[in-house]
Amino acid sequence: MQIGMVGLGKMGGNMAERLRRGGHEVVGYDRDPGVSDVASLKDLVERLEAPRAVWVMVPAGDPTHATIRELGNLLSAGDIVIDGGNSHYVDDQRHGAELGGRGIGFVDCGVSGGVWGLQNGYALMVGGEKGDIERLMPIFETLKPEQDGFVHAGAVGAGHFAKMVHNGIEYGMMQAFAEGWELLEASDVVTDVPGAFKSWRNGTVIRSWLLDLLVRALDEDPALAELRGYAQDSGEGRWTVQAAVDHAVPLPVITAALYARFASRQDDSPAMKVVAALRNQFGGHAVSAKEGQVGKGADAPGADVEPPAEATG
Protein backbone atom coordinates (compact mmCIF):
# COMPACT_ATOMS: atom_id res chain seq x y z
CA MET A 1 0.00 0.00 0.00
CA GLN A 2 1.15 3.57 -0.66
CA ILE A 3 1.13 6.11 2.18
CA GLY A 4 2.52 9.55 2.92
CA MET A 5 4.31 10.12 6.23
CA VAL A 6 4.61 13.66 7.56
CA GLY A 7 7.21 13.94 10.32
CA LEU A 8 10.25 11.66 10.20
CA GLY A 9 11.62 12.07 13.72
CA LYS A 10 12.36 9.26 16.19
CA MET A 11 8.86 7.82 15.94
CA GLY A 12 7.81 8.79 12.42
CA GLY A 13 11.13 7.81 10.87
CA ASN A 14 11.10 4.36 12.48
CA MET A 15 7.46 3.82 11.54
CA ALA A 16 8.22 4.70 7.93
CA GLU A 17 11.12 2.24 7.97
CA ARG A 18 8.97 -0.56 9.44
CA LEU A 19 6.36 0.05 6.73
CA ARG A 20 9.00 -0.06 3.99
CA ARG A 21 10.36 -3.31 5.38
CA GLY A 22 6.80 -4.63 5.23
CA GLY A 23 6.58 -3.92 1.51
CA HIS A 24 4.68 -0.63 1.55
CA GLU A 25 5.61 2.45 -0.48
CA VAL A 26 6.22 5.38 1.85
CA VAL A 27 6.64 8.96 0.66
CA GLY A 28 8.06 10.94 3.57
CA TYR A 29 8.10 14.66 4.26
CA ASP A 30 10.01 16.39 7.05
CA ARG A 31 11.28 19.92 7.60
CA ASP A 32 14.77 18.39 7.58
CA PRO A 33 15.61 18.04 3.87
CA GLY A 34 18.25 15.46 4.74
CA VAL A 35 15.58 12.85 5.57
CA SER A 36 12.70 14.08 3.38
CA ASP A 37 11.65 12.49 0.08
CA VAL A 38 9.87 15.65 -1.09
CA ALA A 39 10.31 19.38 -0.60
CA SER A 40 6.81 20.26 0.64
CA LEU A 41 3.40 18.92 1.63
CA LYS A 42 2.17 19.94 -1.83
CA ASP A 43 4.86 17.77 -3.42
CA LEU A 44 3.96 14.88 -1.11
CA VAL A 45 0.28 15.02 -2.09
CA GLU A 46 1.20 15.18 -5.79
CA ARG A 47 3.42 12.08 -5.41
CA LEU A 48 0.58 9.99 -3.97
CA GLU A 49 -2.03 8.23 -6.06
CA ALA A 50 -5.70 8.88 -5.30
CA PRO A 51 -7.37 7.91 -3.07
CA ARG A 52 -4.52 9.03 -0.82
CA ALA A 53 -3.62 8.24 2.78
CA VAL A 54 -1.38 10.63 4.72
CA TRP A 55 -0.10 9.85 8.23
CA VAL A 56 0.76 12.91 10.34
CA MET A 57 3.44 12.31 12.98
CA VAL A 58 4.31 15.77 14.31
CA PRO A 59 4.09 17.33 17.81
CA ALA A 60 0.58 17.82 19.19
CA GLY A 61 -1.00 21.25 19.27
CA ASP A 62 -0.19 24.00 16.78
CA PRO A 63 2.15 21.91 14.56
CA THR A 64 -0.56 19.27 14.12
CA HIS A 65 -3.31 21.86 13.62
CA ALA A 66 -1.29 23.66 10.93
CA THR A 67 -0.34 20.44 9.14
CA ILE A 68 -3.90 19.09 9.03
CA ARG A 69 -5.23 22.48 7.93
CA GLU A 70 -2.74 22.60 5.04
CA LEU A 71 -3.48 19.00 4.06
CA GLY A 72 -7.18 19.80 4.07
CA ASN A 73 -6.53 22.40 1.37
CA LEU A 74 -4.41 20.00 -0.71
CA LEU A 75 -6.24 16.67 -0.50
CA SER A 76 -9.42 15.60 -2.29
CA ALA A 77 -12.64 13.88 -1.33
CA GLY A 78 -11.99 10.20 -0.64
CA ASP A 79 -8.53 10.79 0.82
CA ILE A 80 -7.74 9.99 4.47
CA VAL A 81 -5.64 11.80 7.07
CA ILE A 82 -4.30 9.80 10.04
CA ASP A 83 -3.11 11.71 13.10
CA GLY A 84 -0.64 9.44 14.91
CA GLY A 85 0.75 12.05 17.29
CA ASN A 86 -0.22 12.64 20.90
CA SER A 87 -3.18 14.89 20.16
CA HIS A 88 -6.01 15.67 22.55
CA TYR A 89 -9.13 13.74 21.61
CA VAL A 90 -11.23 16.92 21.47
CA ASP A 91 -8.88 18.24 18.77
CA ASP A 92 -9.47 15.03 16.81
CA GLN A 93 -13.21 15.60 16.88
CA ARG A 94 -12.74 19.10 15.49
CA HIS A 95 -10.31 17.94 12.80
CA GLY A 96 -12.66 15.11 11.84
CA ALA A 97 -15.56 17.50 11.42
CA GLU A 98 -13.51 20.00 9.40
CA LEU A 99 -12.09 17.40 7.02
CA GLY A 100 -15.39 15.55 6.82
CA GLY A 101 -17.00 18.69 5.44
CA ARG A 102 -14.68 18.30 2.44
CA GLY A 103 -15.27 14.59 2.06
CA ILE A 104 -11.85 13.74 3.51
CA GLY A 105 -11.69 10.93 6.05
CA PHE A 106 -9.96 11.35 9.40
CA VAL A 107 -8.56 8.67 11.70
CA ASP A 108 -6.90 9.32 15.05
CA CYS A 109 -4.31 6.78 16.13
CA GLY A 110 -2.71 6.59 19.54
CA VAL A 111 0.72 4.98 19.11
CA SER A 112 2.79 3.35 21.85
CA GLY A 113 6.14 1.64 21.46
CA GLY A 114 8.71 4.41 21.53
CA VAL A 115 12.14 3.80 20.03
CA TRP A 116 11.60 0.02 20.36
CA GLY A 117 8.66 0.01 17.97
CA LEU A 118 10.75 -0.54 14.84
CA GLN A 119 11.88 -3.88 16.22
CA ASN A 120 8.91 -4.95 18.36
CA GLY A 121 5.97 -3.26 16.66
CA TYR A 122 3.68 -0.49 17.85
CA ALA A 123 0.50 -0.74 19.90
CA LEU A 124 -2.18 1.10 17.94
CA MET A 125 -5.43 2.52 19.29
CA VAL A 126 -7.52 3.98 16.48
CA GLY A 127 -10.70 5.99 16.20
CA GLY A 128 -12.71 6.66 13.06
CA GLU A 129 -15.24 5.35 10.57
CA LYS A 130 -15.28 1.60 10.00
CA GLY A 131 -14.70 1.94 6.25
CA ASP A 132 -11.63 4.13 6.74
CA ILE A 133 -10.17 1.72 9.29
CA GLU A 134 -10.71 -1.27 7.01
CA ARG A 135 -8.99 0.51 4.14
CA LEU A 136 -5.96 1.24 6.31
CA MET A 137 -5.69 -2.24 7.85
CA PRO A 138 -2.67 -3.28 5.71
CA ILE A 139 -0.77 -0.35 7.28
CA PHE A 140 -1.95 -1.16 10.80
CA GLU A 141 -1.13 -4.85 10.38
CA THR A 142 2.45 -4.04 9.43
CA LEU A 143 3.00 -1.53 12.23
CA LYS A 144 1.53 -3.56 15.09
CA PRO A 145 3.18 -6.52 16.87
CA GLU A 146 2.43 -10.02 15.61
CA GLN A 147 0.00 -10.64 18.48
CA ASP A 148 -2.56 -8.14 19.76
CA GLY A 149 -1.48 -4.49 19.82
CA PHE A 150 -4.45 -3.10 17.86
CA VAL A 151 -7.93 -1.86 18.68
CA HIS A 152 -10.55 0.06 16.75
CA ALA A 153 -11.60 1.86 19.91
CA GLY A 154 -14.59 3.74 18.52
CA ALA A 155 -15.47 6.88 16.60
CA VAL A 156 -13.10 9.76 15.89
CA GLY A 157 -11.35 10.73 19.14
CA ALA A 158 -11.58 7.27 20.70
CA GLY A 159 -8.07 6.28 19.67
CA HIS A 160 -6.38 9.18 21.38
CA PHE A 161 -8.72 8.91 24.37
CA ALA A 162 -7.59 5.29 24.85
CA LYS A 163 -3.94 6.33 24.42
CA MET A 164 -4.46 9.15 26.92
CA VAL A 165 -5.69 6.72 29.56
CA HIS A 166 -2.84 4.33 28.68
CA ASN A 167 -0.33 7.08 29.38
CA GLY A 168 -2.06 7.98 32.64
CA ILE A 169 -1.71 4.36 33.76
CA GLU A 170 1.93 4.50 32.69
CA TYR A 171 2.44 7.53 34.95
CA GLY A 172 1.11 5.59 37.93
CA MET A 173 3.19 2.47 37.21
CA MET A 174 6.38 4.47 36.76
CA GLN A 175 5.76 6.37 39.99
CA ALA A 176 5.24 3.13 41.92
CA PHE A 177 8.55 1.71 40.65
CA ALA A 178 10.24 5.01 41.46
CA GLU A 179 8.96 5.14 45.03
CA GLY A 180 9.90 1.50 45.61
CA TRP A 181 13.42 2.16 44.36
CA GLU A 182 13.80 5.22 46.60
CA LEU A 183 12.69 3.27 49.68
CA LEU A 184 15.09 0.41 48.96
CA GLU A 185 17.93 2.88 48.44
CA ALA A 186 17.12 4.71 51.69
CA SER A 187 17.19 1.50 53.77
CA ASP A 188 20.34 -0.29 54.87
CA VAL A 189 18.48 -3.61 54.99
CA VAL A 190 18.70 -4.38 51.26
CA THR A 191 22.27 -4.16 50.00
CA ASP A 192 21.67 -5.12 46.36
CA VAL A 193 18.91 -2.85 45.09
CA PRO A 194 19.47 -3.50 41.35
CA GLY A 195 19.49 -7.23 42.10
CA ALA A 196 16.16 -6.95 43.89
CA PHE A 197 14.54 -5.37 40.85
CA LYS A 198 16.14 -7.95 38.57
CA SER A 199 14.74 -10.77 40.73
CA TRP A 200 11.22 -9.45 40.07
CA ARG A 201 11.44 -9.84 36.29
CA ASN A 202 10.16 -13.41 36.22
CA GLY A 203 7.54 -15.17 38.30
CA THR A 204 6.16 -12.05 40.01
CA VAL A 205 2.92 -10.16 39.54
CA ILE A 206 4.75 -6.90 38.77
CA ARG A 207 6.88 -8.27 35.92
CA SER A 208 6.52 -5.93 32.93
CA TRP A 209 8.35 -4.16 30.13
CA LEU A 210 8.70 -1.10 32.36
CA LEU A 211 10.44 -3.27 34.96
CA ASP A 212 12.73 -4.65 32.24
CA LEU A 213 13.62 -1.10 31.21
CA LEU A 214 14.31 -0.09 34.81
CA VAL A 215 16.62 -3.08 35.26
CA ARG A 216 18.40 -2.03 32.07
CA ALA A 217 18.82 1.52 33.41
CA LEU A 218 20.17 0.24 36.75
CA ASP A 219 22.62 -2.02 34.94
CA GLU A 220 24.00 1.06 33.22
CA ASP A 221 23.98 3.29 36.32
CA PRO A 222 23.22 1.32 39.56
CA ALA A 223 22.67 4.43 41.72
CA LEU A 224 21.23 6.55 38.88
CA ALA A 225 23.92 9.04 39.84
CA GLU A 226 24.21 10.43 36.33
CA LEU A 227 20.58 11.54 36.21
CA ARG A 228 18.77 14.53 37.64
CA GLY A 229 15.42 13.86 39.31
CA TYR A 230 13.49 16.00 36.84
CA ALA A 231 10.58 14.58 34.84
CA GLN A 232 8.59 16.35 32.13
CA ASP A 233 5.05 15.47 31.11
CA SER A 234 3.90 15.50 27.50
CA GLY A 235 0.27 16.41 28.20
CA GLU A 236 -1.59 13.10 28.32
CA GLY A 237 -1.36 12.87 32.10
CA ARG A 238 -2.98 16.27 32.49
CA TRP A 239 -5.69 15.41 29.97
CA THR A 240 -6.38 12.12 31.78
CA VAL A 241 -6.85 13.91 35.09
CA GLN A 242 -9.05 16.56 33.44
CA ALA A 243 -11.19 13.86 31.81
CA ALA A 244 -11.54 12.21 35.23
CA VAL A 245 -12.84 15.49 36.64
CA ASP A 246 -15.24 15.88 33.68
CA HIS A 247 -16.63 12.37 34.26
CA ALA A 248 -16.45 12.44 38.08
CA VAL A 249 -14.15 9.41 38.11
CA PRO A 250 -11.62 9.27 40.99
CA LEU A 251 -8.01 8.81 39.80
CA PRO A 252 -5.92 9.25 42.97
CA VAL A 253 -2.88 7.24 41.79
CA ILE A 254 -2.59 8.82 38.34
CA THR A 255 -3.24 12.30 39.75
CA ALA A 256 -0.57 11.86 42.43
CA ALA A 257 1.90 10.63 39.80
CA LEU A 258 1.27 13.72 37.69
CA TYR A 259 1.75 16.02 40.69
CA ALA A 260 4.99 14.19 41.53
CA ARG A 261 6.32 15.21 38.13
CA PHE A 262 5.40 18.82 38.83
CA ALA A 263 7.25 18.61 42.15
CA SER A 264 10.34 17.21 40.42
CA ARG A 265 10.84 20.50 38.60
CA GLN A 266 11.02 22.65 41.71
CA ASP A 267 14.43 23.57 43.05
CA ASP A 268 12.80 24.99 46.17
CA SER A 269 9.16 24.09 46.86
CA PRO A 270 6.99 27.20 47.44
CA ALA A 271 4.37 25.06 49.19
CA MET A 272 6.93 23.62 51.59
CA LYS A 273 8.02 27.16 52.47
CA VAL A 274 4.48 27.78 53.71
CA VAL A 275 4.50 24.51 55.67
CA ALA A 276 7.85 25.39 57.25
CA ALA A 277 6.64 28.89 58.14
CA LEU A 278 3.45 27.57 59.73
CA ARG A 279 5.31 24.91 61.77
CA ASN A 280 7.61 27.63 63.03
CA GLN A 281 4.70 29.92 63.92
CA PHE A 282 2.53 27.45 65.82
CA GLY A 283 5.19 25.20 67.29
CA GLY A 284 8.43 27.12 67.23
CA HIS A 285 9.95 24.45 65.00
CA ALA A 286 13.29 25.41 63.48
CA VAL A 287 13.35 26.39 59.82
CA SER A 288 16.15 26.20 57.27
CA ALA A 289 16.86 29.71 56.07
CA LYS A 290 18.35 30.73 52.77
CA GLU A 291 22.09 31.30 52.70
CA GLY A 292 23.05 34.45 54.54
CA GLN A 293 19.89 34.54 56.64
CA VAL A 294 19.19 33.25 60.14
CA GLY A 295 16.57 30.56 60.68
CA LYS A 296 14.03 30.78 63.48
CA GLY A 297 14.06 28.32 66.34
CA ALA A 298 11.84 28.14 69.38
CA ASP A 299 13.71 31.08 70.93
CA ALA A 300 13.85 33.22 67.79
CA PRO A 301 11.83 36.40 67.27
CA GLY A 302 8.30 35.57 66.24
CA ALA A 303 8.35 32.16 67.92
CA ASP A 304 6.52 33.42 71.03
CA VAL A 305 3.28 34.39 69.30
CA GLU A 306 0.40 32.95 71.29
CA PRO A 307 -1.85 30.57 69.35
CA PRO A 308 -5.63 30.91 69.52
CA ALA A 309 -7.27 28.79 72.19
CA GLU A 310 -8.56 26.19 69.73
CA ALA A 311 -5.26 25.66 67.92
CA THR A 312 -3.39 22.40 68.45
CA GLY A 313 -0.46 20.68 66.77
Per-residue tens of pLDDT for the chain, all 313 residues:
999 999 999 999 999 999 999 999 999 999 999 999 999 999 999 999 999 999 999 999 999 999 999 999 999 999 999 999 999 999 999 999 999 999 999 999 999 998 889 999 999 999 999 999 999 999 999 999 999 999 999 999 999 999 999 999 999 999 999 999 999 999 999 999 999 999 999 999 999 999 999 999 999 999 888 888 878 877 888 999 999 999 999 999 999 999 989 888 888 878 777 788 778 778 777 777 666 554 555 444 444 445 445 444 5
Whether the upstream peptide bond of residue 308 has omega within 30° of 0, thus cis, is no
- What pTM did the predictor assign? 0.85
Residue 57 and residue 277: Cα distance in Å, rounded? 48
CATH number of 163-264: 1.10.1040.10
Distance CA 14, CA 26 (A): 12
Domain boundaries, the chain: 2-156, 163-264, 271-313
**Is 42 an active-site residue?**
no
What is the signed CA dihedral for 238, 244, 250, 252, rounded to 10 degrees?
-10
Catalytic residue among 10, 163, 198, 273, which?
Answer: 163
Instruction: Indicate the CATH number for domain 2-156.
Output: 3.40.50.720
Under a CB-based contact definition with an 8 Å cutoff, are residues 99 and 68 in contact? yes
